[in-house]
Amino acid sequence: MTMINRVGPLPPSRPGARTGGGTAAGFLPPAAPGPDASRAEGVALAAPVALDSLLALQQVDEPAERDRAARRHGHALLAALGRLQRALLEHGDEAAALGQIRGLAEAAPAAAADPGLAASVDLVVLRARIELARRNG
């Protein structure tokens, strides 16, 4: 068992001496003479990070995020269907609502992780496509 003799800063290491642990912290730049010399000695370079791991972190496809996207898409489609209904009842211009419904029906996000939510969004998309078929035919 190793005993700790004292608590305090580490003694300066010898130039060219290997440090234990095998970490790849990089080389330390030589300290420039001046008031910041002692602070610059303790600064190590950051370890290199692989680009593919950074890209993988950015492309995380969590189930909660898929559910949020599906929920937003379903709400947007329901709102567009409501605008179409109001336009039909008020004898207004339904072309704008139909264009929005067409865009939302074609740009469906990835399937939701929750099976119930996925089925509900699929039914809303089906209803939107039925309305498009009725108005175009």
The one-letter code for the residue type at 86 is: R
pLDDT tens, per residue, the chain with 137 residues: 677 776 767 666 666 555 555 555 555 556 566 665 555 555 555 556 677 776 666 666 688 888 899 999 999 999 999 999 999 899 888 888 899 999 998 887 778 888 999 999 999 999 999 999 998 84
pTM above 0.75? no
Give whole-number Cα distances, 74 to 15, 35, 86, 132, in Å: 65, 62, 18, 16
Cβ atoms of 68 and 114 closer than 8 Å: no
Tell me which residue has tokens 């730049």: 29
Nearest CA among 4, 5, 21 for reference residue 13: 21
Three-state DSSP class for residue 105: helix
Q: How many Å is the Cα radius of gyration of the chain?
A: 31
* Residue 62: per-residue pLDDT: 82
For 120, which DSSP code?
H
Rounded Cα distance, 129 and 106, in Å: 9
* Residue 82: per-residue pLDDT: 94
**Axis-axis angle for helices 115-136, 95-106 (nearest 10):** 140
